[in-house]
């Protein structure tokens, strides 16, 4: 599973990364790989216009906000799409 944090490095992007890493541990996703995508062209290729954003296996699940750890566990483990 590839989890991508889309953002240029703002404080909200850093907080999303922190929450995602904790959610991965809580969910026991040992096969998950977390990476940050900072390049604007790459971010826009996802169709994302507002950061931070989160993509799992290439599918954008949330944009423009930082979900809590519990919500992220549900999203990532269930790959449940959350609209903003």
User: How do residues 34-84 score in pLDDT, each as one tens digit?
Assistant: 999 999 999 999 999 999 999 999 999 999 999 999 999 998 887 644 444
* Cα 69 from Cα 24, distance rounded (Å): 9
Q: What is the CATH number of the domain that holds 41?
A: 3.40.30.10
Number of residues in the chain: 84
Q: What is the mean pLDDT of the chain?
A: 91
Domain-located, residue 84: no
Q: Which domain holds residue 52?
A: 2-78
Task: Yes or no: say if 47 and 60 are a contact pair by the CB < 8 Å rule.
Answer: yes
pLDDT of residue 76: 86
Mean pLDDT over 17-35 rounds to: 94
pLDDT at 79: 65
Number of domains in the chain: 1
Q: Burial-class residue 81 by CB neighbours within 10 Å (0-12, 13-18, 19+).
A: exposed
- What is the value of pTM for the model shown? 0.87
Are the C-beta atoms of 40 and 34 separated by less than 8 Å? no
């Amino acid at each position: 599973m590839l989890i991508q944090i889309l953002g240029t490095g703002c404080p909200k992007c850093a907080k999303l990364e922190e929450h995602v890493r904790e959610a991965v541990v809580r969910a026991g996703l040992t096969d998950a790989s977390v990476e940050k995508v900072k390049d604007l062209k790459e971010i826009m290729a996802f169709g994302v216009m507002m950061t931070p954003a989160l993509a799992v296996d290439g599918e954008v699940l949330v944009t423009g906000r930082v979900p809590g750890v519990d919500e992220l566990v549900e999203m990532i483990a269930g790959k449940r799409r959350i609209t903003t």
